[in-house]
Amino acid sequence: MRYKILILGASYGSLFGTKLLMAGHDVTLVCRTATAQLINEQGTEVRIKLKDESGHRAIRSTGLPGHLDAQTPDRADPSGYDLVLLAMQEPHYSAHAIRTLLVGIAEARLPCLSIMNMPPLPYLKRIPGLDASRLESAFANARVWERFEPDLVSLCSPDPQAFRPPEERANVLHVGLPTNFKAAAFGKTEHNAMLAKLEADIAAVLLDGKDVPVKLRVHDSLFVPLAKWSMLLTGNYRCVTRGDAVAIRDAVHGDIAMSRAIYAHVDSIIQRLGADATDHVPFEKYAKAAEGLLSPSSVARAIIAGQPFIERVDKLVQLIGRSLDMGHAGIDETVANVDAALARNQVSAA
């Protein structure tokens, strides 16, 4: 079975897209006009390091078995696709052209797999006992998700780390940490069968007889993709301070006791929702990895660059915690710091 996948977002989305193309499936990337023209003319290039190789391989879409094209949001037609991947930053879905496309996707009742850190509201509605209506203020515009059926929306943790090299064109992506995508199952059997097929097809891909990193791993638990929240709240969002931004290493190790407490508290929130304790990554393992993270997080860099809106996983976790009577002063301080920084950017952008 050859699937057609529509991916909203051509930067990080091109990594998942390349894996699908290598497995023989067809992909359409939705992006800006100049990027779409570049991709349609030259394809994409994803640079990834294979095991036991010293340098990165350049994997170009033009030499892969799947077909790739790119469209702008106003020209993208969701009809005829089997799956939609949501690979943009959450605030970007508020743009008029994207909102219009989302309406078409929802009306077509297409299964949507989000690879954002910020879960779409319909996904959160699938968690028993969680009142999603109390979480809307964490979203740039919660209304964009109101047409979606929760069972048709799932979440995939964007664990692989990748970026566009600043000296390269917009069709190039460099993979720094080639970990796996961890997806939760959909609410419908037929869509889970498709995920299982994609998981198997991606796993079977070889390059010059070698295994290719970055697999798709599908889990029955709704909570596996949320395991990253502890890391985001302990490190990434705490890079934003009342003063200058700090590196992830310094955010974590500057006050290791507070970091440990925040990490454990976020884990306990997720477990209170229903997660298994074995789903999380131990704090010691994360803290060790953070020692090598010598730059501010992408969240902090976006604020430094003047972005007025970012994904607010910090605020989402705060609201969920409060709804469960599980507040935490360290999380409140982080949210206040990010609120203040964004408020300054919004004044400057006005």
pLDDT in tens, 291-348: 988 999 999 999 999 999 999 999 999 999 999 999 999 999 999 999 999 999 999 8
Q: Which two tokens stand for residue 104?
A: 């078409």
The conformation of residue 208, written as its DSSP 8-state character, comes to T
Q: Which residues of 243-265 are buried (b: 16+ CB within 10 A; e: fewer)?
A: eebbbbbbbbeeeeebbebbbeb
Q: How confident is the model at residue 161 (pLDDT cuts 50, 70, 90)?
A: confident
Amino acid letter for position 155: L
DSSP string, 188-224: SHHHHHHHHHHHHHHHT-EETTEE-S--EEEES-SSG
- The model carries a pTM of 0.95
Cα torsion through 6, 11, 13, 19, rounded to 10: 110
Give percent of the chain above pLDDT 90: 91
Handedness of CA 131, 137, 143, 145 (dihedral sign): negative
Residue 4 exposed, middle or buried by CB count within 10 Å (0-12, 13-18, 19+): middle
In sequence order, the 6+-apart residues with CB closer than 8 A to the CB of 288 are: none
Asked whether 112 and 154 are in contact (CB, 8 A), the reply is yes
- Give helix 256-273 / helix 329-349 axis angle, nearest 10°: 100
Q: Which pLDDT value is given to residue 125? A: 97
pLDDT given for residue 216 in this prediction:
97
Residue with tokens 């974590």: 252
Give the position of tokens 């909102």.
99
Which tokens belong to 274? 């229903």
- Cα separation, 336 vs 184, whole angstroms: 31
pLDDT at 177: 85
Which DSSP helix (H) or strand (E) runs through 298? helix 298-304
Q: Is the pLDDT of residue 160 over 90?
A: no
Q: Which residue has the tokens 């509605």?
A: 125
Average pLDDT over the chain, rounded to an integer:
95
Give the pLDDT of residue 279.
80
* Residue-wise pLDDT tens digits, 207-246: 999 999 999 999 999 999 999 999 999 999 999 999 999 9
Domains annotated on the chain, with CATH: 4-219 (3.40.50.720), 227-349 (1.10.1040)
For residues 97 and 72, is the Cβ–Cβ distance under 8 A? yes
Q: Which residues contact 333 (CB under 8 A, 6 or more apart)?
A: none
Handedness of CA 118, 120, 123, 125 (dihedral sign): positive
Specify the pLDDT at position 280.
82
Q: Quote the CA–CA distance of 59 and 63 in Å, as a whole number.
A: 8
Residue 237 to residues 110, 145, 212, Cα–Cα distance (Å): 33, 25, 31
Interval 87-104: pLDDT, tens = 999 999 999 999 999 999
- Mean pLDDT along residues 125-137: 95
pLDDT digits (tens, 9 = 90+) for 21-76: 999 999 999 999 999 999 999 999 999 999 989 999 999 999 999 999 999 999 99
